[in-house]
Amino acid sequence: MPASPTTPPGPDAAGDRLLLGTLRRSGRWPAVYAGAALAGAVMELLLPGALGHAVDALVVPGGPGDAGQAALVTCAALVAAVVACDALTVLAGGGGRAQAGRWLRTRMVGHLLGAGPGVTRRFPPGDLVARAGAGAEEAAAAPESLIMPVALLVPAAGSLVALALIDPWPAAAFAAGLVAIGVVLRAFLRETTAVAAGYQEAQGDIAARLVDALAGARTIAAAGTEEQEVGRVLAPLPRLRAHGMALWRVNARAGVQAAIVVPLLETAVIAAGGLRLAQGAMSVGELFAAARYAVLGAGVGAALGHLNRLGRARSAARRVAAVLAAPVRAHGTAEAPPGGRGRLEFRGVTVCVDGRPALRDLDLAVPGGTVLAVVGRSGSGKSLLAAAAGRLADPDRGEVLLDGVPLRRLGRSALRGAVGYAFERPVLFGATVGEAITVDRPAGTAGPAARAAAADAFIRRLPRGYDTPLDAAPMSGGERQRIGLARAFAHGDRLLVLDDATSSLDTVTEYQVARALTEELRDRTRLIVAHRAGTAARADLVVWLEDGRMRGLGRHEELWRDPDYRAVFRLDEPAPAGPPPAGAGRDAAVPAVPRHAGGAGPEAG
């Protein structure tokens, strides 16, 4: 049974925790960055005092002397140290961003693939690409953006202490100015985080629309709707521009406020110091040092740029954390019992999509070795049943068992060795055509699986046969489908699931594959999402779905008597009095029934 639900953390908390995770996963670079930044801050903090001593030594009667020369050497050494620290922070910042970005992208891609196809129901693929790309890059800048504002507090606090040691009046003026700068920075960070979230959401929306358009490029070209699609893809541009202008306004307003507050702070400190100099309470060198400390401490206003990046990093981290919150399928450790032939059981299975049941209260027992056809109109739940059969989708209620073992209890390798999937548009991976079939199975399994999928002949015509690199083996849609079928045949030892996996095959090849399914692969259960009456007629058992519920279960010729069942295949002729007509029968070589609408495209149900 699924684990009891727990209250997930809020998006702000999850995003901030992810930022701290990037800090920990950036290796030694954040420590180097922090050390260099703090060392540079300390050197800058020491520099005004050294300059003040140098001024006092230079203005004394009789020339600078040894003390003045030593003060000048000290100042030069401090300046050189500041420059070296700045260079090291640039290097460490770049290294940390690269390592953090690599960790974020690796974690996100691994999580997406581990969460399975269900995550794309919550997030469009294009938006996921934007989050894993630009979003991860912006979030990876968090370590640098977190450390530098803190490092800038060191010279500010040190300047306040140094001014207090020189004279309390300039220190009081400086403290008042720091409070005003802190108010400006706090408001800036809050506003930047909020506005950046809207900007990044608009970017993700454009990316999602573009990916959809690219997936349907042939349809768009055939329909001549390029201009309309350009308008649809770029429809969020006004929203993107509005958020971009808002970001600029926030930056400009904070910049103006800092441009007013910082000079006023410096002027106040110098004015207070001048009055104390006139009273004889400060020397010229101390006034010079106080002025330098005011400039150095007010440099905390330079944190605006770092806080801008931090605000964008926070909003990006929240978007990445929302994806990482999608549950990942946890696998058990059980092995499938020996000797099983793929007995498949659905016990009270309900699967929800967007919070609504799309497959409801399914109770079904399929004997091992059965050819099961799943029939229904588009949206009836066929593909969802096929996904639940091999745990591409977990039930919200109920349990699916394979040879008596709940799928949740099976180990990952045991599950994928027992269940083989073939889809309409298979993705091929591996270095060669042979590896695309075998994946982790022995190389010797490629040939038999390819022959069963009617792929062996065209593979042998390739320049290097099964050893032909995938990128050097251009294939038609039907040939790719046959490779996908061969991969499923090589892996599904107990259960084969075919979801519209023969839609691009010609009738002769489809018949060859159908014969292999019914004759050569009898040692396993075969679940076929059927769009043709001929496919259903060749099955041992047909489950008929309607609106996510099982409306009928039996042999094709039995269900054929129901006109509603015939209407699934869009047959207008009256119900036959006897068995199905020729071409729709169990032994028909070529299906005579046309595919229903939508059968050639992706199955939405």
Quick: pLDDT tens for 171-207. 888 888 888 888 888 888 888 888 888 888 999 999 9
At 276, is the pLDDT very low, low, confident or very high (cuts 50, 70, 90)?
confident
**Which pLDDT score, from 0 to 100, does residue 594 have?**
33
User: Residues spanned by CATH 3.40.50.300 within the chain?
Assistant: 344-568
Alpha carbon 236 to chain centroid, angstroms: 21
Higher pLDDT, 236 or 9: 236
- Give domain 344-568's CATH architecture: 3-Layer(aba) Sandwich (3.40)
Q: What local confidence, expressed as pLDDT, does residue 234 receive? A: 93
Q: What is the pLDDT of residue 331?
A: 86
The whole-number average pLDDT for the span 239-246 is: 91
| Tens-place pLDDT, residues 441-488 | 888 889 999 999 999 999 999 989 999 998 888 888 888 999 999 999
Q: How confident is the model at residue 325 (pLDDT cuts 50, 70, 90)?
A: confident
pLDDT at 583 over 50: no
Residue 55 predicted with pLDDT over 90? no
Q: Are 509 and 454 in contact (CB under 8 A)?
A: yes
CATH 1.20.1560.10 in the chain: give the residue spans. Answer: 11-324
- For range 21-30, the mean pLDDT: 86
Q: How far is CA 545 from the centre of its chain?
A: 33
Among 18-27, 535-544, 594-603, the range scoring the smallest mean pLDDT is 594-603
pLDDT at 591: 35
Separation CA 306–CA 249 (nearest Å): 17
Q: What is the mean pLDDT of residues 535-540?
A: 90
Helical axes 237-278 vs 303-324, angle rounded to 10°: 140
Is a pLDDT exceeding 50 seen at residue 604? no
Phi, psi of 358 (to 5 degrees): -110, -20
User: Parallel, antiparallel, or unpaired for β 541-546 and 371-376?
Assistant: parallel
In this prediction, residue 68 has a pLDDT band, given cuts at 50, 70 and 90, of: low
Which amino acid is it at 103? W
Is-contact 204 126, C-beta < 8 A? yes
CB 138, CB 308: distance < 8 Å: no
Q: What is the pLDDT of residue 546?
A: 93
Cβ 144 vs Cβ 246: under 8 Å: no
Report pLDDT for 602.
33
Average per-residue pLDDT for the chain: 83
CA terminus-to-terminus distance, the chain: 25
pTM of the model: 0.68
Strands 405-406 and 397-402: antiparallel
Return the pLDDT at 64: 54
> What letters, b where the CB count within 10 A reaches 16 and e where it falls short, cover 494-524?
bbbbbbbbbbbbeeebbbbbbebbbeebeeb
- Mean pLDDT in residue range 318-322: 90
Identify the residue with better confidence: 185 or 581.
185
Query: Considering the domain 11-324 in this protein, what is its CATH number?
Result: 1.20.1560.10
Q: Which of 123-132, 322-331, 371-380, 580-589 has the highest mean pLDDT?
A: 371-380
